[in-house]
Every structure is written in structure tokens, then in C-alpha cells.
Amino acid sequence: MRYQHVCVEAFGYTLPPHVVTSDEIEAKLAPLYDRLGLPAGRLELMSGIRERRFWDRDWRPGRISAETAEKTITAAGFDRRYIGAVIHGSVCRDQLEPATANYVHHALGLPNSACVFDVSNACLGLLNGMVLIANMIEMGQIRAGIAVGTEGGRDLVEGTIDSLLQDPEITRQDVKLAFASLTIGSGSAAVLLCDRRLSRTGNRLLGGTLRSDTSSHELCAGDSARATHGDDRPRMQTDSEALLHAGVNLAVETWEHCKRVLGWENSDVQKAFTHQVGRAHRKLLYERLGLDPAIDFPTVEYLGNAGAAALPMTAALGIEAGHLSPGDRVALLGIGSGLNSIMLGLEWGR
């Protein structure tokens, strides 16, 4: 994928209000830890995550996504009459039908000529949305579009805690398979893209590539658990170690192809934003890609793994913190269970 006419006009984010520490989660699991002889502090020690955030209990993904998109469009000073696509790209949605993007489109007061739909692809949905919008802009079908999504981890984390505590036959191996579920956080992000002739920033989306390894589709899987746990809260089973290595292997393949598409070498990249999984993942990823970890902007320590919102939310926070400078070449290194990977290159203008 190469783009000549696409700019990333703005990233935006919304952070949930409720902070939940890893110590608090382990305090709830204390009876299980005592029974299995597990040491306290292992959750933060193994993941690097000291806290994550949750929304209010009456939250709705569409409402928060609309707020995030509104803030992003307003902050950019962008004329919403030009927005020809709204893609809601998170795992979390208001309902199965209709698409949550319809609520967002209505709340934003966007033109009825815009295409409106949801994309769900584990932790990669918002990047998929970015690519779809970029393709439409490049082909001249639309002049601008916004990809937005909101993830909430409370039900998964609290449901996992309850399941672990209620099973009298739970083993250390069962705890290991549930470990990744306890690292999940929440967040909301939006990405506004437009034709470069409309752009006030000149933040060029140069292109990128995607790769898949669907032989690994069973390494991380989640669904509603009413049949086995008696409630509709999701549960997830993750082979964290196998997923780590399979994911990084796919990332290496994707990155090498991305560099060929963009004509880049590692030395050409000044900054990067990655999907936020954990400390071990980040360390191995940068080692295997041959990139300097200093170009990264990590948020996993205080946001946990916020699913599809994690990478664009991290980019928005990094931009706000001054992580980017004019002229920087920026890599977006996305990966999601399935496995799928999208890596994109930006040239930062503002």
C-alpha cells in the first residue's frame, strides 16, 4: 500500500475515569493465591502493568466513541461536511445490530452521504479502519473519514476473577491461561484522515503493509460465557507464551515487507507507536525488529492492554506529550490475535 494523497489530520483519545491497580486485582484473588501458593505481585512483575482504567458501569461504547470523535474533529478545526466515512473499529459495540457507527454518525451530525459501518478484528480494528478510509481517499471516493472505537475491560477482568475464585478445581495452568485477561484495560481513540489538499497539518500517511498467520487463531480467543459461567460477561483463554513468540515472528515478517514498500531502513525511523501488550512483548518486539526502544512511547504500564484502542490512543497521548517532531518518520506497529498485523509509515508535518 502506497498513498500519495492521504494525511492523518488528527489523533484523539478519551481516558476512563476509574483506575484499578494490579495490587487491587490480586487482593481479590488472595484466596486463590493462598491455595495455589502463588506470590503476590506476580501480575505486575510479569506484565509490567501497575494499573488500568475502567469506565462507569453504565457505559456505552457508541456514546464514548461519539465524544472522542467530536473532540478530535473540533480540536483539528476540521469541516465535518467533508467527512465521507465513519468506521467504528473496536471489539466492544452497543449491540449486534445495527452498527455502532450509526450512533456515532448521528451524534456527530455528519452528512447522509457518508458510508457508515463497523469493523471488528481483535486489537487491530481501528488500524483496519484507518486503511479502509485511506484507500477510499486515495481512490477519490471520499475526501475525509474518521475511524473511532472504544474498548471496555471491566467485564472481562471481573468475570475472570469470579471464574477463578469459584472453580474449586482450578490449577496453576488454568491461572496461566487466564493471565492475559487480567491485563486488559479500557480506552477510546479516534483517527481523522483526509485528502492532503484539505489538510492543515501535512501529516502524510505514506503507506504500509499487512500480513496474517491464521494458523495461530486459537492462541487467544474470547466469547460470552453464559453456557459455562452463567453470565454474559466475556472470558478469554490465552496461551501467552506461544502468542508472544508467534506474534513477534509475524511482526518481523510484516516489518521487513513494510520497509520494502516504503523504501525505509531502520535508521530512517525516528519514532514508533506499538500495540500495548506488556513489558516482555515490547522488549522482544524491538529486539527482533532491530529498532531502538527509545523511539517508542509506552503506555501499557498505566493503561494496560486496551485492545483496538491501544495503539491510536497511545499515539494521541504521545503527540500530546511532544513525542513527535516535524519531519519525523513514524512507524505504527499494529498486531492482533488471529493473528493479523498492519504496519504503517507516517511523515509528521506539524
Do 240 and 42 contact (CB within 8 A), yes or no? no
- CATH number of 215's domain: 3.40.47.10
Let me know if residue 303 belongs to a domain: yes
Q: How confident is the model at residue 318 (pLDDT cuts 50, 70, 90)?
A: very high
**Domain-embedded: residue 142:** no
Question: Binning pLDDT at 50, 70 and 90, where does residue 225 land?
Answer: low
Q: Which residue range is the domain that position 335 belongs to?
A: 204-347
Residue 1 belongs to a domain: no
Average pLDDT over the chain, rounded to whole? 94
Dist. CA 96–CA 236, nearest whole Å = 19
- Domain total of the chain: 1
pLDDT bin (cut points 50, 70, 90) of residue 236 is: confident
User: What percentage of the chain exceeds 70 in pLDDT?
Assistant: 98
Has residue 126 got a pLDDT over 90? Answer: yes
Q: Is residue 222 part of a domain?
A: yes
pLDDT tens-digit profile of 58-105? 999 999 999 999 999 999 999 999 999 999 999 999 999 999 999 999
Q: Is residue 199 part of a domain?
A: no
> Is 245 inside a domain boundary?
yes
Q: How do residues 40-59 score in pLDDT, each as one tens digit?
A: 999 999 999 999 999 999 99
Sign of the alpha-carbon torsion through 23, 26, 30, 34: negative
Percentage with pLDDT > 90 across the chain:
82
For residue 271, how far is the Cα from the chain centroid? 18
Answer left, alpha or beta for residue 130, where phi above 0 means left and psi between -120 and 50 means alpha: alpha
Please tell me the predicted confidence (pLDDT) of residue 338.
86
pLDDT higher than threshold 90 for residue 247: no
Q: Could you tell me the CA-to-CA distances from 2 to 231, 252, 268, 299 in Å, in that order? A: 46, 20, 17, 29
Tell me whether residue 326 is in a domain: yes
291 within domain boundaries: yes
**Which active-site residues does the annotation give?**
97, 123
pLDDT band for position 229 (cuts 50, 70, 90): low
> What is the pLDDT at residue 228?
60
* DSSP per position, 230-294: SSSSEEEEE-HHHHHHHHHHHHHHHHHHHHHHHT--GGG--EEEE----HHHHHHHHHHHT--GG
The confidence score (pLDDT) of residue 181 equals: 92
What strands lie across the sheet with 271-274, from one edge to the other? 115-118, 83-88, 144-151, 187-195, 6-14, 204-212, 340-347, 329-336, 271-274
Cα-based distances in Å from 305 to 22, 179, 228, 255? 13, 12, 25, 21
| CA separation for the pair 97, 117 (Å, rounded) | 11
